Structure 1
Amino acid sequence: MSRAALLAWAGLALASLFWAGNSLVARAFTGAIPPISLAFWRWATALMILLPLVGPSLWQHRQTLRRAGWRLWVLAGLAIASYNYLLYTAALSTAAINLSLVSTCLPLATFIGAGLLLGEWPARRAWLGLLLALCGLLWLIAQGDWRALASLSFAQGDLLMVVATLDWALYSLLLRRWSAHFQLPPFTLLGALVLLGLLMLSPLYAWELWQGARFELSLPNLAAIGYTALFASVVAYQLWNIGLRELGPARTAMSNYLMPVFTAILGWLLLGEGLQEHHWVGGALIVSGLVLAARAQKS
């Protein structure tokens, strides 16, 4: 494995850690911050962080951005506006375990999409890694008892999470397919996507305010927004985009299986939730599957 690929995998693991923290924040502040407000201020704060870094570069590459045109709007709509709206809204009406279960379709959807849209069919060893990691994730969700999967119930929010997962897979695939149109520094591209996505979120946020939804400007609420803006947005999205460039969408999507592992570890460290046998077994299966996918070469 090349040094660039190794660094890309390390970055994806870090992104999964930050997104696992984002899931904990979203669950903890569901009653304190309305979903669209959290999405809007997450990206507004991220834009304030990015602009001093990428403002001059955005102006310098304005011709490239103009030529990218509608493609940038599509990617921003998928990754910034619709995905976050769907995710935070789904969290209001479904259990966290169901969100994890539905998210298992992301690597599979990306594997198939990479073959159909990009002609990048993963090697057989990568498919084996996908299956192994999927078994590990389901073992975590079932808490070590496969019979528990049959007793799961699904709420209205599960459909929103399905749409959100497919939304993210499509973003990853299109970003890879249109990479020739985005000859930009990575942070410049991210800044452009955040700016356009925030413009699309603004009408939804105005509608939420008109409905009377507000949140208190307390230190915990502001800290939650700050975490989602810096770590779950600026840093994690940048690391994901680098993974797409170095590894392709299929293998990049495999890193999604690390999120429940990190969620369990964070729950143990921050919430005092003990790590059980099924956490260790499921985590080992997921890591083994990722190692197989990482070492697989394109066929």
Structure 2
Amino acid sequence: MINRSFLLLLLPPLFWAGNALLARATAGDLPPVALAFWRWILALALILPFTGRDLWASRGILWRHWRPVLGMALTSVAAYNTLLYLAVQTTTAINATLVGTALPIMVLLLARLWLGDPIRPRQTLGMAVSIIGLLTVVTRGEPARLATLTLTPGDGLMLLASASWATYSVMLRRFPIPVRGFTLLTALIVLGWLMILPFYLFELSLGYTVHLRPMTLGVIAYTAVCASLLAYYFWNLGVASVGAPTAGLFANLIPLFTAILGVALLGETFAWFHALGGGLIFAGIALATMRRR
């Protein structure tokens, strides 16, 4: 049967889909590194009053696990989001989504090599069905569109971003840190923000600045609360429950949710390929997450 983890893991791709739409809408006012920098400052300001005491009390545990904590901060807070924002500056949404299909495969292979997790037939079938659904959405039901795609530097950055998130997802299972979820997230935010800082200063030196408008402030607020704090928390819970390979399949929901949000917020048309692709994506995820009674 479908368990609670299925519902938990629906939320991160929904939040990240909204993040992608808003980031594209404010690309001229929010430079990529600046967006990553300020979203985590606000997220830290919101979470620290509630986790600061426990973070200080857990400092000994975090220090004993400093290597995996540092690696998680690098691959999640610092690298993934920054690379993603940089990628969409020079690649199309379709290209970025297609490159993102490598994420579940990367997670599956890393979990096999690093954790010794078996690659089960149900997982493989679920991944295949989910990817077919994803391709249906991004090609708008026309496979010939794949032949017209050209590679850009952003595609390489998107591949690095996917590899970074896959590594983080597997590290969550490989190195369980015995602290509360939000406490660990606070530690990752602090370390990841420090890693982003020099790149933000370099971006400023090139003349890229944030244009403070209601829209840009709203985007920073959304990315800090929904795409950062809530999405990361639910993702970590899901990975701990179902494992990194199965959780990785949920990344295929991002383009579907992006299309649905486009219909709701931008007045775009919901077409047959959205319904077909979405049904296949959910079917593939269900195959990988359903448990026999």
**1:261 alignment partner in structure 2:** 256
**1:284 alignment partner in structure 2:** 279
Between the two proteins, what is the percent identity of the paired residues?
42
Moved more, 209-218 or 83-92: 209-218
The alignment status of 1:189 with 2:187, answered yes or no, reads: no
Question: How big is each residue's C-alpha offset from its partner over 1:17-48, in whole Å with a ceiling of 9 and x where there is no partner?
Answer: 00000010111111111111000001010000
The alignment status of 1:36 with 2:36, answered yes or no, reads: no
Q: What is the one-letter code of the residue matched to 1:250?
A: P
Q: What is the one-letter code of the residue matched to 1:273?
A: E
Residues in 2 aligned to 1:279 and 1:50: alpha-carbon distance in whole angstroms: 36
Residues in 2 aligned to 1:252 and 1:220: alpha-carbon distance in whole angstroms: 32
Residues in 2 aligned to 1:230 and 1:268: alpha-carbon distance in whole angstroms: 23
Residues in 1 aligned to 2:221 and 2:112: alpha-carbon distance in whole angstroms: 38
Contact 1:261 1:279 in 2 (8 A): yes
Question: How big is each residue's C-alpha offset from its partner over 1:110-151, in whole Å with a ceiling of 9 and x where there is no partner?
Answer: 111111111112321121011000100011111111111111
Contact 1:125 1:296 in 2 (8 A): no
**1:169 alignment partner in structure 2:** 166
**2:244 alignment partner in structure 1:** 249
Contact 1:75 1:193 in 2 (8 A): yes
Which of 175, 179, 198 is the matching residue for 1:178? 175
The alignment status of 1:217 with 2:208, answered yes or no, reads: no
**1:142 alignment partner in structure 2:** 139
**1:151 alignment partner in structure 2:** 148
| 1:90-101 matches, cutoff 5 A | 90-101=87-98
- Offset at 1:277? 0.9
Residues in 2 aligned to 1:34 and 1:108: alpha-carbon distance in whole angstroms: 30
Contact 1:112 1:121 in 2 (8 A): no
- Offset at 1:12? 1.0
Question: Structure 1: 5+ residue runs without aligned partners?
Answer: none
Q: What is the one-letter code of the residue matched to 1:56?
A: R
**1:56 alignment partner in structure 2:** 53
Question: Structure 2: 5+ residue runs without aligned partners?
Answer: none
- Offset at 1:58? 0.3
Residues in 2 aligned to 1:287 and 1:16: alpha-carbon distance in whole angstroms: 13
TM-score (norm 2): 0.97
- Offset at 1:296? 5.5
Question: How big is each residue's C-alpha offset from its partner over 1:207-260, in whole Å with a ceiling of 9 and x where there is no partner?
Answer: 111222111221111110000000000000011111111011000001111111
Q: What is the one-letter code of the residue matched to 2:205?
A: W
Contact 1:123 1:296 in 2 (8 A): no
Q: What is the one-letter code of the residue matched to 1:205?
A: Y
The alignment status of 1:230 with 2:231, answered yes or no, reads: no
Q: What is the one-letter code of the residue matched to 1:148?
A: R
Contact 1:19 1:259 in 2 (8 A): yes
| 1:109-128 matches, cutoff 5 A | 109-128=106-125
**1:23 alignment partner in structure 2:** 20
Contact 2:86 2:154 in 1 (8 A): yes
Q: What is the one-letter code of the residue matched to 2:215?
A: P
Say what the alpha-carbon RMSD is for the aligned residues.
1.2
Contact 2:133 2:280 in 1 (8 A): yes
Residues in 2 aligned to 1:220 and 1:61: alpha-carbon distance in whole angstroms: 38
The alignment status of 1:12 with 2:1, answered yes or no, reads: no
Residues in 1 aligned to 2:16 and 2:3: alpha-carbon distance in whole angstroms: 20
- Offset at 1:70? 2.1
Contact 2:3 2:290 in 1 (8 A): no
Contact 1:34 1:214 in 2 (8 A): yes
Residues in 1 aligned to 2:236 and 2:16: alpha-carbon distance in whole angstroms: 14
TM-score (norm 1): 0.95
